[in-house]
Amino acid sequence: MPSRSEDVVAHYAAHLRAERHASPHTIRGYVADVRQFLAFVGAPTPAAVRPEAVRHWLRAVGDTVARTSTARKLAAVRGFFRFLVDVERLGADPTAGIATPKAPRRLPAHLTLDDIDRLLVTPRPDTLLGLRDRAMLEVLYSSGVRVGELVGLDWEHVDAETDCLRVLGKGRKERVVPFGRPARRALADYRARCAEAGLAVQGGPVFRNARGGRLTARSVARLMERYVLVSGTTAKATPHALRHTFATHMLGAGADLRAIQELLGHASLSTTQRYTHVDLRRLMEAYDRAHPRA
């Protein structure tokens, strides 16, 4: 088995790819954090790293980046050493017992119903790309899927009879999510225009760029920025904000938190529970405005 730090990091990256089914973006981030850590502590091999070195690195990192970034970097390093212990490359984890920095709990950004109404009608319905973008926005808000799940959709993943999508989420976990009538109409109009243009509608990507290739998550974000400006929406409207908006509006209308967890594909209910804080803030604001003795 390799013992040099770089070889062991490569082994860890292969583990993340094959066993954890991590995305290329996640793997790049984790590997970069681990390499930066090893360069900072100056240990010739991971076996030479001691808890004191981890604490020293953590203090240095905490002076330069936000707590959320510090926590993410520690998670990458902790995962690296736990992996080495699991494969019996190390006898002890030097990060064990080191507390993760607590980050301030931020409420997810979301749009109001008025914001949503203005945003969703902004794309032009008389062009192929306009129909694509309207369908894209409707699906994001109607289903709550992640932008990576959206751009990964193929036509075979869209069930027009049951109004459901089959998406591949984090950790390559598949789930089925429903979408509403406006999203169904937008998808049908877009699909019909694709067929007229000679584009495949039985297989291949649902959302294509102007050259016919699969749309990327970054392209979706750029398109949303443009539509936010045109619509006059003042809220911070990103693809992820539409996911938050989906969950917030579902909860506000009385949906069960467990059901929202399943729809969003959250592994832990604690992640979904953030939306209870959003709804509580809305209720408190209404109370303060309306109650005579608030």
What CATH number has the domain bearing residue 35? 1.10.150
Q: Do 39 and 125 belong together in one domain?
A: no
pTM to 2 decimal places: 0.64
Q: Do 47 and 179 belong together in one domain?
A: no
Task: Report the number of distinct structural domains present in the chain.
Answer: 2
What CATH number has the domain bearing residue 223? 1.10.443.10
Q: Do 77 and 221 belong together in one domain?
A: no
Residues recognised as catalytic: 146, 170, 240, 243, 266, 275
Is 217 among the domain residues?
yes
Q: Do 59 and 128 belong together in one domain?
A: no
Q: By the 8 A CB rule, do 51 and 69 touch?
A: no
Q: Do 37 and 147 belong together in one domain?
A: no
Tens place of pLDDT for every residue, the chain, 294 residues? 345 778 899 999 999 998 888 888 889 999 999 999 999 999 888 889 999 999 999 999 988 888 888 988 999 999 999 999 999 888 999 999 898 877 666 666 788 889 999 999 999 999 999 999 999 999 999 999 999 999 999 999 999 899 999 998 877 788 999 999 999 999 999 999 999 999 888 889 999 998 889 999 999 999 999 999 899 886 778 898 899 899 888 888 888 888 888 888 887 777 677 766 655 566 566 657 666 664
Is 244 among the domain residues?
yes
Is 152 among the domain residues?
yes
Q: Do 168 and 269 belong together in one domain?
A: yes
Q: Do 74 and 216 belong together in one domain?
A: no
Is 104 among the domain residues?
no
Is 81 among the domain residues?
yes
Q: Which residues contact 237 (CB under 8 A, 6 or more apart)?
A: 111, 115, 119, 224, 227, 228
Secondary structure of the chain as H, E, C letters: CCCCHHHHHHHHHHHHHHCCCCCHHHHHHHHHHHHHHHHHHCCCCHHHCCHHHHHHHHHHHHCCCCHHHHHHHHHHHHHHHHHHHHCCCCCCCCCCCCCCCCCCCCCCCCCCHHHHHHHHCCCCCCCHHHHHHHHHHHHHHHHCCCHHHHHCCEHHHEECCCCEEEEECHHHCEEEEECCHHHHHHHHHHHHHHHHCCCCCCCCECCECCCCCECCHHHHHHHHHHHHHHHCCCCCCCHHHHHHHHHHHHHHCCCCHHHHHHHHCCCCHHHHCHHHHHHHHHHHHHHHHHCCCC
| Residue-range definition of the domain harbouring residue 188 | 113-289
